[in-house]
Structure 1
Amino acid sequence: MSASVGLIVTGKCEQKGLCDSLARVFPEVRFELLDRVESFTSADVRELPEAAGSGTTLDKFAASLVAAVEEEPPDLVVAIDDLELVNAPHPELVASRVRDAVHAHLARHTWTSEATRDKVTQRVRERCSFHLLAPMIEAYFFAEPEALVRAGAGRPSQVDASSIDLEAFVTGDPDFLNHPDVAHKQSPKRKSWAIPLPERARHPKHYLRFLCDPTNPYTDRYVETKGGAEALRKLDWARVFAHTERVRLARSLFEDIADRLGVPHPFPGQGHPATADFKNARVLRNL
């Protein structure tokens, strides 16, 4: 029987395309979407309460991860969230908050017995991990021009993936950056890609939206569940990982899968210490 990996994601693009994308790199592995939960990284994690209760977004995120291994768990369960620009300066803090939330959930959850608690706690330690995509999944599309076309871009990108770390995404495209700021007019249903600077220059999803329709700052031509998922399904990860010292958070994800399943690491290089500290992990496999 083939090895199995269950995914818990927060993004619509990942929900539709990540299993197929990872299966192209690990064809011997069966990837399954377990759950799509609400992201907790849209807000600065420094502002989250230290002693959270069972009702916060982060608590629910942790509970979903633990629940995945309570009964007949896959060989590996990976929970994935975008880092987002607001948390870009402190990925280690994001990871530590997840570790603390999982630890707290294991402690306060109502278990049928202490033996069950111990069994699930051990499963979490051996089979569960948390990973970040930085600042969001669309950043990696810029390593492959064809991926941007699959996503719906009709205009070529001005981002040179060979000269930057895509996890520190930035574009200098003057047409994108010089468009008047219309963020103050946006509605919850129609968000504009013309957000204020400097965040606009660092936002890969908004830049992709611009490339799909540069004339309309409220464009909806980029659809995560369609173009985004198609770009992700066929993404050439070898081009994403072309520089061994870059894209360390995403590389940690692939390192984790390979390590847990005992297969060669497809893209050797340096993982990120926030999510690749396998030797010192205390609660999850990598945290």
Structure 2
Amino acid sequence: MSPAPSTLQNLASRLVADVVEADDPPDLLIALDDLELVNAPHPELVVARVREAVLMHMERHDWTSQAAREKATRLVRERCSFHLLAPMVEAYFFAEPEALVRAGAIRTSRFDAETTDLEAFVTDDPDYLSHPVVPHKQSPKRKSWAIPLPERARHPKHYLRFLCDPTDPLTRRYAETQGGAAALCKLDWSRVFAHTERVRLARSLFEDIADRLGVPHPFPGEGHPATSDFKNARVLRNL
């Protein structure tokens, strides 16, 4: 019995299939994921594994002919990308106080987007940080925002959960598909990109979109080298 495909294998398979097998393939297909705190120091390792997974899938796939393989390789290289949000999408909400309100926050954030890169999120809110840790075994089905330090200070999603419900570490008042979607769909990206030297992973994403559409980059600045090497990429558009 063959082992179940890994998450990376499934991602690679879906990414390739959606452009190669489609009757009308999309002009641009982007796989987007949160970097997460555990990977924050080395985004280049994450994208390297994605690149390897796509390359391995292309090599192992049973193509009908060499011409079909070459066509698929070209389509994937020209139309598919992989990008990261750091450390997770909620970090960008903190550039716009109104976005936090749309997400459900009832308390004012102490995070200062003027002095700190959103992608290097950290808060010093004493009420949030001083709450006793809620062990995972006490909440196996509901994530607590009262995780151990120092991860708690660097976790924008948990801090947002705290802002939505400061009294209950097991709150359900923030849901990504509701409050998160409301915050994101109207997010003022001009405030996210207010500092040209910051949010480089998100900037790479917008650079990729602008390039594929043939329009000027709306938020010019330096992208992250892990996801913006468009000139030397050999597997995906940016990897």
Output the TM-score relative to the length of structure 1. 0.80
Contact 2:136 / 2:144 at 8 angstroms: preserved in 1?
Answer: no
Q: Residues 191-230 of structure 1 correspond to what in structure 2 (within 5 A)? A: 191-230=143-182
Q: Deviations over 1:15-59 (max 9, x none)?
A: xxxxxxxxxxxxxxxxxxxxxxxxxxxxxxxxxxxxxx7711111
Deviation at 1:114, TM superposition (A): 2.0
Listed one character per residue, the Cα deviations across residues 249-286 of structure 1 (whole Å, up to 9, x for unaligned) are: 00000000001110110000010000000111011110
Residue 47 (structure 1) aligns with: none
Q: In the alignment, which residue of structure 2 is the partner of 1:270?
A: 222
Unpaired segments of 5 or more residues in structure 2?
A: none
Decide whether the 8 Å contact of 1:186 with 1:192 is kept in 2. Answer: no
How far, CA to CA, are the matches of 2:4 and 2:67 in structure 1?
A: 23
Matched, 1:62 2:12: yes
1:75 equivalent in structure 2: 27
In 2, the alpha carbon distance for the partners of 1:113 and 1:77 equals 24
Residues 84 and 136 in structure 1, CA contact (< 8 A), matched pair in contact too: yes
Distance across 2 between alignment mates of 1:219 and 1:253: 32
Q: 1:93 aligns with which of 40, 45, 50?
A: 45
Distance (whole Å) between structure 2 residues aligned to residue 173 and residue 248 of structure 1:
25
Shift of 1:186: 3.7
Counterpart amino acid of residue 40 in structure 2: A
The equivalences for 1:142-153 within 5 A come to: 142-153=94-105
Contact 2:229 2:238 (8 Å CA) reproduced: yes
Kept in 1, the 8 Å contact 2:139–2:170? The answer is: no
- Greater CA radius of gyration, 1 or 2? 2
Take 1:185 and 1:55, find their aligned partners in 2: how far apart are those partners?
Answer: 29
Question: Structure 1 64/231 Cα, relative in aligned 2: closer, same or farther at 3 Å?
Answer: same
Change (3 A) 1:156 1:260: same
User: Do the aligned partners of residues 218 and 54 (structure 1) sit closer, same or farther apart at CA in structure 2, a change above 3 Å counting?
Assistant: closer
Counterpart mapping for 1:21-170 below 5 A? 55-70=5-20, 71=22, 72-170=24-122
Return the structure number with greater strand share.
1
Which is further off, 53-62 or 153-162?
53-62
CA distance in 2, matches of 1:182, 1:170: 20
**Per-residue CA distance 1:65-113 (angstroms, 9 max, x = gap):** 1111112211111000100000001000101111110000000012222
Q: Which amino acid aligns with 1:67?
A: A
Check 1:252–1:214 CA distance in 2 against 1; reply closer, same or farther (3 A cut): same
59-68 or 243-252: bigger deviation: 59-68
- On the 8 A contact 1:54/1:60 being kept in 2, the answer is no
What's the counterpart of residue 237 of structure 1?
189
Q: CA RMSD in A?
A: 1.1
Poorly superposed stretches of 4+, deviation over 4 Å: none
Are the aligned partners of 1:147 and 1:232 in contact in 2 as well (CA < 8 Å)?
yes
Paired residue type of 1:57:
T
Q: Deviations over 1:155-180 (max 9, x none)?
A: 00000001000101000000000000
- What's the % identity of the aligned pairs? 77
| Bigger Cα displacement from structure 2, 144-153 vs 107-116 | 107-116
Alpha-carbon distance in 2 for matches of 1:55, 1:217 = 35
Count of aligned residue pairs for this structure pair: 235
**Is the Cα contact below 8 Å between 1:183 and 1:191 reproduced in 2?**
no
Gaps of 5+ in 1: 1-52
Please state whether the residue corresponding to 2:94 is helix, strand or coil: helix
Conserved in 1, the CA contact under 8 Å of 2:118 and 2:199?
yes
TM-score by length of 2: 0.96
